[in-house]
């Protein structure tokens, strides 16, 4: 019974994968392309107008994530993949947050150690 | 067999079905699944570089050179901050767009347009690497930046710069070769005989990833 519901999935999904490019009209790509240009322009403006502090960092991160999201979802077709593949590829990088956290603590520690040992 | 799409479970139930049934978990061409897994591993490599960069930038006692000034270009009597980097960014995004269109035309089985768009993508990649070579030359020869020292501030700046942009440039160069090979095969009808153009999409995945990595390098190294 189980086989009946799952096995055709392979067949029909392969069909979908082959027809995939045909199903997306070119418009989608052209719009995303334009959007990436505009958002890249915005992130360059952040530097051009010499914004500083929290505003600068927030804008950099926001524009970066918007661009990354659209590239992955549309250009790399992730939006049309099955959830199993999405999870397999997108969840593991979250482990990097742990690495970032640990290395930030370590970097701060090294900085303070250097400050107490090497300055004056 | 073909009209069963209505029975394919979606969402989390679909995940369970895909992962637990006695067949391959990801119903995509294996080349695509393998490319995704390679890109996942590459994500970790680049992340290690960027996290290492964060670590040395946080821990140095000397001031970090201001990339906005270091990478400024002197145009028309004024210093425009990050100009070359901005142009490189736009070149790479343009190449990503032509690649996305190439994949689309591949599935339409339009060989000439697909190959033309892929060659355009490869050409833009060459342009990107050339501008990077110009940037490296400017920094090494004119500004005296070395992996172990530089006149602007923290010595770690040089090592991070050469490591991160060098590794990314290597990826772009490999991508240019990869895309050219696939484009030639599109032209000579290799994929027509094979009956599928999914290799174009797989090559596209790699190229978009190179663009994706640049988005992060641009944000963290050049803008931060």
Q: Find which of B58, B72, B95 to mutate to test the A interface (most A CBs within 10 Å of its CB).
A: B58
Q: How many CB pairs under 8 A join A and B?
A: 208
| Count of structural domains within chain A | 2
Do A106 and A59 have their domain in common? no
Quote the tokens at residue A71: 């590239």
Determine the distance in angstroms separating the CA of B120 from the nearest CA of chain A, rounded to an integer. 15
**How confident is the model over A30-46, as pLDDT tens digits?**
999 999 999 999 988 88
Do A12 and A57 have their domain in common? yes
Do A13 and A72 have their domain in common? yes
Quote the pLDDT of residue A106. Answer: 96
Do A60 and A91 have their domain in common? no
Per-position pLDDT tens, chain B of length 224: 444 455 778 888 888 888 888 888 888 889 999 999 999 999 999 999 999 999 999 999 999 998 888 888 888 777 788 888 999 999 999 999 999 999 999 988 999 999 999 999 999 999 999 999 999 999 999 888 999 988 888 999 999 999 999 999 999 999 999 999 999 999 999 998 998 889 999 999 999 999 999 999 999 999 98
Strands B73-75 and B78-80: antiparallel
Residues B217, B88 contacting (CB under 8 angstroms): no
Does B215 contact A84 at a Cβ distance shorter than 8 Å? no
**CB-nearest partner of B219 from A7, A60, A100:** A60
Domain B29-223 sits in CATH at 1.20.120.80
CA distance B88 to B91: 5
Do A33 and A76 have their domain in common? yes
Does B47 contact A60 at a Cβ distance shorter than 8 Å? no
Tell me the whole-structure pTM to 2 decimals.
0.88
Quote the tokens at residue B27: 């119903």
Quote the tokens at residue B158: 């040089």
- Residues ≥6 apart with Cβ < 8 Å to B75: B83
Do A73 and A33 have their domain in common? yes
Best CA proximity match to B126, nearest among B103, B101, B104, B94? B94
Q: Can you give the residue range of the structural domain that contains A111?
A: 87-120
Do A57 and A113 have their domain in common? no
Q: Is B82 helix (H, G, I), strand (E, B) or coil?
A: coil
**How confident is the model over A80-120, as pLDDT tens digits?**
888 999 999 999 999 999 999 999 999 999 999 999 998 76
For chain B, what are the domain ranges? 29-223
Query: Which chain B residues contact residue A58 at CB under 8 A?
Result: none
Say whether residue A71 is in contact with chain B using an 8 A CB cutoff. Answer: yes
Do A100 and A65 have their domain in common? no
Q: Is A13 helix (H, G, I), strand (E, B) or coil?
A: helix
Do A91 and A75 have their domain in common? no
ipTM of predicted assembly, 2 dp: 0.88
Best CA proximity match to A68, nearest among B123, B67, B217? B217
Residue B23 backbone dihedrals phi, psi, to 5 degrees? -160, 180
Q: Find which of B41, B46, B47, B59 to mutate to test the A interface (most A CBs within 10 Å of its CB).
A: B59
Do A76 and A95 have their domain in common? no
């Amino acid at each position: 019974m189980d086989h009946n519901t799952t096995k055709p999935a392979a067949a029909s999904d392969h069909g979908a994968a082959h027809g995939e490019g045909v199903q997306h009209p070119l418009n989608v790509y052209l719009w995303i392309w334009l959007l990436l240009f505009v958002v890249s322009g915005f992130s360059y403006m952040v530097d051009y107008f010499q914004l500083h502090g929290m505003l600068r960092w927030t804008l950099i991160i926001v524009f970066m994530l918007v661009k990354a999201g659209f590239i992955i979802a549309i250009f790399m077709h992730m939006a049309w993949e099955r959830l199993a593949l999405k999870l397999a590829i997108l969840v593991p990088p979250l482990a990097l947050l742990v690495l970032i956290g640990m290395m930030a603590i370590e970097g701060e520690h090294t900085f303070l150690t250097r400050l107490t040992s090497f300055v004056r | 067999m073909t009209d069963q799409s209505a029975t394919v479970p979606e969402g989390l139930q679909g995940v369970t079905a895909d992962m637990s049934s006695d067949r391959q978990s990801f119903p995509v061409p294996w080349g695509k699944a393998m490319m995704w897994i390679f890109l996942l591993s590459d994500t970790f490599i680049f992340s290690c570089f960027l996290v290492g960069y964060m670590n040395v930038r946080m821990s140095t006692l000397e001031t970090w050179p201001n990339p906005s000034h270091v990478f400024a270009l002197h145009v028309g009597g004024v210093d425009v901050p990050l100009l070359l980097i901005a142009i490189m960014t736009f070149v790479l995004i343009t190449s990503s767009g032509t690649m996305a269109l190439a994949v689309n035309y591949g599935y339409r089985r339009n060989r000439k347009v697909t190959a033309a768009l892929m060659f355009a993508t490869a050409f833009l990649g060459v342009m990107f690497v050339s501008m990077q070579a110009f940037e490296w030359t400017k920094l090494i020869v004119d500004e005296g930046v070395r992996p172990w020292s530089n006149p602007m501030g923290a010595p770690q700046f040089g090592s991070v710069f050469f490591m991160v942009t060098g590794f990314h440039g290597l990826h772009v160069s490999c991508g240019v070769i990869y895309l050219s090979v696939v484009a030639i095969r599109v032209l000579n009808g290799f994929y027509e005989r094979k009956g599928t153009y999914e290799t174009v999409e797989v090559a596209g995945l790699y190229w978009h990833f190179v663009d994706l990595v640049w988005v992060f390098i641009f944000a963290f190294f050049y803008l931060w």
